């Protein structure tokens, strides 16, 4: 265990940024999102949740895959270069670290997504424990411990000190590069911080959310439930929930006409959008209810069915905070739980 | 005790245990809605119901009298329900809709555009004492919110008392209101079948103050200002989808044939283009309801675009408020000889 005074963090950032690109939560116009740090960047490690998750670092909202250029009778096709530069993601919360593991299940499975793979290979993740979890958090429902985040280095923000613990080889290497800025530290303050975080987590309103009835086996019962028809109604069909989500992984591939050729790019897609998975024959989800259902079925049923029971929600609560209609995964889980309870107590006749 | 009250979460119970004043407006609406459902005047009620968190009520339909136990009306009911009436107009029977004064401008504008059916609506104009902005509450460093007392203003309670996991906090109601309430158009309902609840004047700022500041900038500064704000846009389309003026059945940005994607900005120009096209398209029809800025997950002050158009329209064609009347033509859809020439834009710089 190491430590560094928070007043010395700029020196730490400078050191890291000298050799690698450094991503940090940066404030812009009152909102905090991960971005590349440079001198003068307004770092906000105290912000619990960035608006967007840090998944852009591996899976950007929009990225060019290759460019076709026409020059007379010649046509050239230039694929985009893969990530070659090492970079550091600093201040990632436990839920978002798990989010990367969920994206790995998708992008590192055969056939491997080389763009994603290259970025993952060149990244070092410095995670940060959640000093003060909030009412929208429910990571512990997915067995995530926000007091002891995974990553290459774990860190804890306690008073005026940042505690630092390498967890992997990559983390050891980063620690080595900044070692003269760090001091040796006792485990005790971190242990007591962990306890206080866990005590707060116990008190969070969604901490005891039950996932009973969900999972890979719930396919037909959940899909055919009449509850979707009621639940989706306030949905505005915007993509906020999908775009702030650390695990939403659907993308679309489009061509951008540059006038002299074509840039083929991929961008995040949203199951809330009317042309989601549109194919030549048309669209296989023609109503907003179907599109709405898709999002929750994917997270709570399809994904676990295909990935050894792992849910593709990490309980970060960004959708809970940002949905303009207060309609989100917690609402869905609770509505299903209520209905199932009333069914079991005879409240609803078959 | 009704079943739904027994099964309520702590947060929902808090909303039920409200001040006497609030009970009045909310209970009055509920009682009246029950009567209208019972006598068959309306087939459903469109209002707000308790959400998962004390500050997030949800727009909701109620079809049965007993469902109305979940109905809430408090300071967090900022959502403008007018746009939902486009779909509700297609349903059988009348929909009782609760509209705040500013929401009625949107409804009237939609009537003018033949997008809602007046005959399908039973409008209860609900009083408004200013609506709250949870982002402003959180910006005061208030986190871990468990319950909020005083979410509906009364004459003797002008402070929110917030229980959090990290202790009790308070904040002044007026400090955490939505921007739009500080520049309120007035508490008069433009259209209604009946009125319930009292209003309170909340206007304490010049609606065009920030527009004037932006106008005073050099073109370079102005560009930098909007560049910085719009660079946060994630193209979630929440502003468009919530906007009562954005009522096209199919948006050009949703077309797969259009060169601009709906989902991402292909280049830095596109994030500006989407918002500029939208602002032009709603110009002359935007009532300045402020929903675009309320729902933006990235806190972009989108209303500034619309307000610039409104200010220009006022200056070029005389004072005009979309949704304040049912005249068939607005200033941008009619022509009179005295109209300014398009060159005015270049002339004034």
Question: In chain A, which residue's Cα lies nearest the Cα of B59?
Answer: A234
A344/B20: higher pLDDT = A344
Residue range A209-235: average pLDDT?
A: 94
Residue B18 has pLDDT above 60, yes or no: no
Local confidence band at B9 (pLDDT 50, 70, 90 cut-offs): low
Could you tell me if A288 lies within 8 Å of chain B, comparing CB atoms?
A: no
| CB contact at 8 A, A144 and A198 | no
d(CA B76, CA A192) in angstroms, rounded, equals 38
Residue B262 confidence (pLDDT):
67
DSSP state of A318: H
Residue A141 has pLDDT above 70, yes or no: yes
Residue B19 has pLDDT above 50, yes or no: no
Ranges A68-82, B77-91, B207-221, B261-275: which has the least confidence: B261-275
- Among A32, A50, A234, most B C-beta atoms within 10 A, so best to mutate, is A234
Residue B259 has pLDDT above 90, yes or no: no
B298·A51 Cβ contact <8 A:
yes
| CB contact at 8 A, B247 and B83 | yes
Report pLDDT digits (tens) over B221-239: 999 999 899 999 999 999 9
Residue range B35-42: average pLDDT?
A: 97
Which member of B250, B263, B299 has the closest CB to residue A30? B299
Residue range B41-56: average pLDDT?
A: 95
Distances (CA, A) of B75 to B126, B129, B133: 12, 8, 9
Which member of A31, A270, A327 has the closest CB to residue B263? A270
Residue A9 confidence (pLDDT):
97
Which member of B241, B254, B267 has the closest CB to residue A275? B254
Instruction: State the nearest Cα–Cα gap between B98 and chain A, in angstroms.
Output: 15
Could you tell me if B273 lies within 8 Å of chain A, comparing CB atoms?
A: no
Residue B348 has pLDDT above 90, yes or no: no
Q: A-chain residues within 8 Å CB-CB of B51?
A: 326, 331
Residue B15 has pLDDT above 60, yes or no: no
Report pLDDT digits (tens) over A236-262: 999 999 999 999 999 999 888 888 889
Which member of B232, B240, B265 has the closest CB to residue A31? B232
Residue B308 confidence (pLDDT):
95
Report pLDDT digits (tens) over B143-177: 999 999 988 777 666 899 999 999 999 999 999 99
Local confidence band at A72 (pLDDT 50, 70, 90 cut-offs): confident
Residue A348 has pLDDT above 70, yes or no: no
List all residues of chain A from 117 to 136 with a beta carbon under 8 Å from chain B.
132-136
How many residues would you count in chain A? 350
B266·A29 Cβ contact <8 A:
no
Residue B193 confidence (pLDDT):
97
Residue B270 has pLDDT above 80, yes or no: no
Residue B119 has pLDDT above 90, yes or no: yes
Provide the 10 A C-beta neighbour count for residue B301: 18
Report pLDDT digits (tens) over B59-104: 999 999 999 999 999 999 999 999 999 999 999 999 999 999 999 9
Instruction: State the nearest Cα–Cα gap between B163 and chain A, in angstroms.
Output: 11
Instruction: State the nearest Cα–Cα gap between B7 and chain A, in angstroms.
Output: 9
Q: Is the ipTM of this complex over 0.85?
A: yes
Which member of B143, B165, B235 has the closest CB to residue A203? B165
d(CA B228, CA B217) in angstroms, rounded, equals 15
Helix, strand, or coil (residue B278): helix
Residue A74 has pLDDT above 60, yes or no: yes
Residue closest to B51 by CA, chosen among A134, A234, A204? A234
Residue closest to A329 by CA, chosen among A341, A321, A320? A320
Residue B155 confidence (pLDDT):
67
Provide the 10 A C-beta neighbour count for residue B77: 23
Residue A65 has pLDDT above 70, yes or no: yes
Sign of CA dihedral A199, A202, A205, A206: positive
Could you tell me if A208 lies within 8 Å of chain B, comparing CB atoms?
A: no
Residue B114 has pLDDT above 60, yes or no: yes
Instruction: State the nearest Cα–Cα gap between B224 and chain A, in angstroms.
Output: 13
Local confidence band at B298 (pLDDT 50, 70, 90 cut-offs): very high
Report pLDDT digits (tens) over A330-343: 999 999 999 988 77
Question: In chain B, which residue's Cα lies nearest the Cα of A333?
Answer: B52
Local confidence band at A282 (pLDDT 50, 70, 90 cut-offs): confident
Q: A-chain residues within 8 Å CB-CB of B53?
A: 135-136, 205, 320, 326
A48·B143 Cβ contact <8 A:
yes
Average pLDDT, chain B: 89
Local confidence band at B349 (pLDDT 50, 70, 90 cut-offs): low
Q: Is B46 exposed, middle or buried (0-12, 13-18, 19+ CB in 10 A)?
A: buried
Distances (CA, A) of A206 to A57, A209, A321, B7, B160: 29, 5, 13, 15, 23
Report pLDDT digits (tens) over A108-118: 999 999 999 99
B269/B140: higher pLDDT = B140
Question: Angle formed by the axes of helices B268-282 and B219-230, to 10°?
Answer: 100
Helix, strand, or coil (residue B88): helix
Which member of A132, A205, A254 has the closest CB to residue B143? A132
List, in order, residues 6 or more apart from A247 with CB less than 8 Å away: A55, A99, A102, A103, A299, A312, A313, A314
Local confidence band at B261 (pLDDT 50, 70, 90 cut-offs): low
């Amino acid at each position: 265990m190491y430590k560094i005074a928070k007043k010395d963090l700029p020196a730490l950032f400078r050191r890291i940024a000298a050799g690698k690109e450094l991503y940090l939560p940066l404030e812009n116009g009152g909102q905090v999102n991960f971005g590349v740090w440079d001198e003068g960047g307004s770092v906000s490690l105290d912000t619990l949740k960035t608006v967007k998750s840090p998944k852009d670092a591996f899976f950007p909202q929009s990225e060019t895959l290759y460019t076709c250029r026409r020059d007379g009778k010649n046509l050239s096709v230039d694929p985009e270069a893969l990530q070659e530069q090492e970079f550091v993601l600093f201040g990632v919360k436990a839920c978002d670290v798990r989010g990367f593991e969920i994206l790995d299940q998708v992008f590192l499975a055969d056939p491997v997504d080389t763009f994603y793979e290259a970025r993952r290979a060149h990244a070092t993740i410095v995670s940060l424990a959640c000093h003060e979890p909030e009412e929208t958090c429910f990571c512990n429902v997915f067995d995530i411990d926000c007091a002891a985040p995974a990553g290459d280095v774990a860190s804890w923000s306690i008073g005026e000190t940042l505690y630092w613990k390498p967890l992997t080889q990559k983390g050891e290497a980063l620690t080595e590069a900044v070692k003269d800025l760090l001091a040796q530290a006792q485990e005790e303050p971190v242990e007591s911080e962990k306890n206080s975080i866990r005590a707060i987590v116990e008190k969070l309103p969604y901490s005891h959310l039950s996932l009973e009835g969900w999972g890979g086996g719930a396919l037909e019962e959940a899909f055919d439930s009449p509850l979707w028809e009621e639940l989706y109604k306030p949905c505005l069909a915007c993509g906020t929930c999908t775009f702030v989500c650390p695990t939403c992984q659907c993308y679309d591939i489009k061509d951008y006409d540059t006038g002299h050729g074509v840039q083929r790019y991929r961008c995040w897609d949203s199951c809330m959008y009317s042309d989601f998975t549109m194919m030549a024959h048309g669209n296989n989800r023609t109503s907003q209810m179907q599109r709405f259902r898709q999002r929750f079925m994917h997270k709570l049923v399809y994904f676990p069915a295909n990935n050894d029971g792992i849910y593709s929600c990490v309980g970060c609560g960004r959708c809970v905070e940002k949905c303009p209609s207060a309609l989100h995964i917690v609402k869905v889980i609770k509505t299903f739980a209520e209905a199932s309870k009333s069914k079991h107590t005879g409240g609803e006749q078959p | 005790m009704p079943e739904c009250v027994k099964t309520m979460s702590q947060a929902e119970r808090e909303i039920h245990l409200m001040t006497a004043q609030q009970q009045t407006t909310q209970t009055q609406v509920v009682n009246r809605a029950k009567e209208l459902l019972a006598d068959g005047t309306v087939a459903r009620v469109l209002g707000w119901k308790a959400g998962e968190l004390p500050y997030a009520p949800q727009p909701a339909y109620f079809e049965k009298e007993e469902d109305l136990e979940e109905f809430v009306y408090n300071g967090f009911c900022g959502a403008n329900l007018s746009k939902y009436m486009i779909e509700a107009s297609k349903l059988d029977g009348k929909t009782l809709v609760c509209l705040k004064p500013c929401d009625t401008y949107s409804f009237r504008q939609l009537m003018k555009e033949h997008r809602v059916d007046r005959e399908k609506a039973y409008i209860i104009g609900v009083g408004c004492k200013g609506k709250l902005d949870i982002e402003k509450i959180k910006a005061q460093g208030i986190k871990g919110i468990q319950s909020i007392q005083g979410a509906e203003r009364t004459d003797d309670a002008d402070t929110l008392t917030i229980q959090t996991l990290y202790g009790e906090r308070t904040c002044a109601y007026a400090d955490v209101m939505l921007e739009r309430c500080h520049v309120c158009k007035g508490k008069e309902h433009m259209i209604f079948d009946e009125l319930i609840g009292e209003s309170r004047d909340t206007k304490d700022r010049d609606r065009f103050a920030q527009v004037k500041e932006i106008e005073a900038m050099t073109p370079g500064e102005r560009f930098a200002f909007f560049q910085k704000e719009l660079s946060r846009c994630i193209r979630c389309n929440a502003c468009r989808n919530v906007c009562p003026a954005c009522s096209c059945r199919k948006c050009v940005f949703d077309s797969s044939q259009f060169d601009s994607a709906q989902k991402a900005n292909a280049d830095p120009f596109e994030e500006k283009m989407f918002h500029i096209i939208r602002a032009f398209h709603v110009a002359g029809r935007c009532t300045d309801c402020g929903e675009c800025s309320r729902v933006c997950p990235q806190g972009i002050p989108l209303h500034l675009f619309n307000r610039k158009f409104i200010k220009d329209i006022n200056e070029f064609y005389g004072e005009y408020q979309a949704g304040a009347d049912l005249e068939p033509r607005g200033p941008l859809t009619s022509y009179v000889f005295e109209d300014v020439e398009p060159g005015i834009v270049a002339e004034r710089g």
